[in-house]
Structure 1
């Protein structure tokens, strides 16, 4: 389906990335010479998304300045400097800018490498896959062997029809890989100002409306300063390039 709007969740404190984040918001921490958030902005551009909303909190002026220097996008700021609203509350706070139709959501501090030679990018695949009649939420998923920096066991089990259920220790799990298509109706009935998107995942799962799309390529998460080098080495190895 046609989706031209996205939100990038960029308001986190990045405490595990200290001391780098003592003076820099985590989305601006560089991997292979590029800020983490830049990978997401570029992925949205590849998918033809031209309107992004970014929530900000910690060291917000630095992030706002970087965003103002990016061309080719209509960028709006959702200001959470007064209070962090968590992932779900942050999106609800930005809904006046996001609209009433399905939109994309990306994490600002994880990214992925597209499969070399692929003719279609992952976010375009997600847009094509999303069916608002049967789905409320579509998550991009990765297998454990497709990920660098992930330390958990996995997040979901994928059914034959693509529906997701929470991983409870049995089966072959997948990772939620930091990209979502969601319909804003998932927030109906939630009155709390601050809440996690996991609440919406669980509701959609219980209604059979939570689906996954397997990504093509390699997914990276960078949680600590030491993980930067690991991510750069994995990126270079996957792309067949020298480490920068």
Structure 2
């Protein structure tokens, strides 16, 4: 599932007439950078809300399914709404406001996934390697990859917006509109929330100042820097 429904308000004027996933980075729409990561043969669902007609037109004829949200449901609610189209357990979810270099992030997740001990596996990075990201981090990470947070926790890694997650976690949340944080909290409570480090580069393209950073990251990768 690709998240493409948000308003992109931090992008200011750039999203006044188009959704954030259609902002170009290095000559390619953000959503196309994300779609290029999807392994062949997977069913792809793209959720939409803000300027949904533009997203639909952009991906038309490419075999992707659309999960339209008449009201914005946030990431957790959006996942639940898309479940009939996804029809899988577990599922990948991927934000569309980032660019990646190095190994394919979804393949990294697949190689580390262990259904016997995981309900969610997040792709993470140390804050020092999280280009365009502001803040200390999102989770503390144990040596075995277990993720945690709470009072007094020391953030050690940043969530990159890519994960494998079991929809069974949705059973713990009755609300329609909610963040994926609720799902991660449920997985953490069961000792089944894990992370794996992305060995390549990543840039959070959440605001205009991140655009040149993302393009520089991609250029360096293309040159083998």
Aligned twin of 1:228: 211
Is the partner of 2:93 in helix, strand or coil?
strand
Query: Which SS does the other structure have where 2:162 is aligned?
Result: strand
Task: Return 5+ residue gaps in structure 1 as ranges.
Answer: 1-6, 116-120
> What's the secondary structure of 2:45's corresponding residue?
strand
Q: 1:67 maps to what in 2?
A: 59
Indicate whether 1:24 and 2:13 are aligned. Answer: no
Classify 1:170/1:238 alpha carbon distance in 2 versus 1 (closer, same or farther; 3 Å): farther
Decide whether aligned partners of structure 1 residues 142 and 194 sit closer, same or farther in structure 2, where only a CA change above 3 A counts. Answer: same
Task: Name the CA distance, whole Å, in 1 between partners of 2:59 and 2:180.
Answer: 24
Q: Match for residue 3 of structure 1? A: none
Q: CA deviation at 1:198?
A: 0.3
The 8 Å contact of residues 55 and 90 in structure 1, kept in 2 or not, is answered as yes
Alignment check: 8 A CA contact 1:146 1:217 kept: no
TM-score by length of 2: 0.93
Give 1:41's aligned residue: 35
User: Contact 1:157/1:167 (CA < 8 Å) preserved in 2?
Assistant: no
Calculate the aligned-residue CA RMSD, in Å.
Answer: 1.9
CA contact (8 A) 1:154 1:167 kept: no
The answer as to whether partners of 2:124 and 2:196 remain within 8 angstroms in 1 is: yes
- Equivalents in 2 of 1:110, 1:49: separation in Å? 23
Structure 2 alignment gaps of length 5 or more: none
Counterpart position of 2:114: 131
Shift of 1:232: 1.4
Structure 1 residue 223 displacement after superposition: 1.8
Q: Deviations over 1:29-81 (max 9, x none)?
A: 0111111111110011xx335311011011111111111154xxx3110011x
Superimposed CA distance per residue, residues 17-40 of structure 1 (whole angstroms, 9 cap, x where no aligned partner): 121111110000011111111111
Distance 1:174-1:55 versus aligned 2 partners, 3 A rule:
same
Q: Number of paired residues? A: 225
